Amino acid sequence: MHVSVQSEFFDFSAEIKNFSETLGNIGALVTFTGIVRGQKSNTLDYMFIEHYPGMTETQIKLIVEDAFKRWKICDVLVIHRY
């Protein structure tokens, strides 16, 4: 399990490639990428995200740990960029 909360840009494709190479023989790799909308429609002026770095990472890890308990998951990579 790897959880990162960061402001730095990252290469999504490279992260998925590196992560998938560590997994071995798995049945599936599921990804999710979220993007803030509103740029084309001019309905979003700005987005302000406030977080407490240690608490944010801890809460994401708790969610991941719950997922491990509920489902048969091999590994998880979370990169949350703010």
DSSP string, the chain: -EEEEESS---HHHHHHHHHHTT-S-S-----------TTTT----------HHHHHHHHHHHHHHHHHHS-----EEEEE-
Total domains, the chain = 1
pTM, rounded to two decimals: 0.79
DSSP lists the bridge partners of residue 6 as 81
Compute φ and ψ for 76, nearest 5 degrees.
Answer: -140, 140
- Structural domain harbouring 30: 2-81
pLDDT tens, residue order, the chain (82 aa): 999 999 899 999 999 999 999 888 888 899 998 877 665 666 777 777 788 888 999 999 999 999 999 999 999 999 998 8
